A and B are shown apart, each in its own frame.
Chain A
Amino acid sequence: MPSLKDLRTRIASVKATQKITKAMQMVAAAKLRKAQMAAEAARPYAEKMESVLANLGAGVDASSAPRLLAGTGSDKVHLLVVCTAERGLCGAFNSSIARLAREHANRLLAEGKTVKILCVGKKGNDSLRRTLERNIIDLIEFRSVKQMSFVQADEVGARVLKMFEAGEFDVATLFFSRFKSVISQIPTAQQLIPAEIPAKSASKGAQAVYDYEPEEAEILASLLPRNIAVQIFKALLENAASEQGARMSAMDNATRNAGDMIKKQTQKYNRTRQAMITKELIEIISGAEAL
Chain B
Amino acid sequence: MATFHFELVSPERVLFSGSVDSVVVPASEGDMTVLAGHAPAMSTLKPGVVTVAEGKGNSRRLFVRGGFVDINDSGLTILAEHAIPLEDLKPEMIANDIKNAMDDVADARTVDARIAAQSRLDGLKQLQSALVN
Contact = CB atoms under 8 A, between A and B. Distances in A.
- A and B from one complex: yes
Contacts of B39: 208, 211
Contact of A44 (B14, B27, B81): B14
B73 interface: yes
A274 B51 CA distance: 81
A149 B44 contact: no
A24 to B, nearest CB: 27
Interface residues of A, number: 31
B9 interface: yes
Contacts of B11: 42, 45-46, 150, 153, 229-230, 233
B99 to A, nearest CB: 17
A41 B12 contact: yes
Given A52-B70, A223-B68, A226-B81, A213 B42 contact: yes
Contacts of A149: 12
What secondary structure prevails in chain B residues at the interface with A? strand
A214 B29 contact: yes
A4 B120 CA distance: 77
A219 B70 CA distance: 11
Interface string B1-36: 000000101111110000000000001110000000
Contacts of A46: 11
A149 B84 CA distance: 14
A214 B9 contact: no
Contacts of B128: none
Interface residues of B, number: 26
A49 B81 CA distance: 11
Given A52-B79, A219-B68, A213 B9 contact: no
A207 interface: yes
Nearest to B77: A48
A233 B11 CA distance: 8
A254 interface: no
Interface in A196-220: 207-214, 218-219
Contacts of B118: none
B85 interface: no
A214 B43 contact: yes
Contacts of B77: 48
B41 interface: yes
A176 to B, nearest CB: 16
A48 B40 CA distance: 15
Interface string A209-244: 111111000110011001001100100000000000
A56 B82 CA distance: 22
B43 A219 contact: yes
Contact of A207 (B7, B14, B43, B72): B72
Contact of B42 (A44, A150, A211): A211
A38 interface: yes
A156 B39 CA distance: 37
A208 B77 CA distance: 16
A222 to B, nearest CB: 6
Nearest to B32: A213
A45 B42 contact: no
Contacts of B42: 52, 55-56, 210-213, 219
Contacts of A229: 11
A45 B66 CA distance: 14
Given A153-B11, A211-B40, A222-B44, 20 more contacts: A38-B12, A41-B13, A42-B11, A42-B12, A46-B11, A48-B7, A48-B9, A48-B70, A48-B79, A150-B10, A150-B82, A208-B72, A211-B42, A212-B42, A212-B43, A213-B43, A214-B29, A222-B68, A226-B66, A226-B67
Interface of A: 38, 41-42, 44-46, 48-49, 52, 55-56, 149-150, 153-154, 207-214, 218-219, 222-223, 226, 229-230, 233
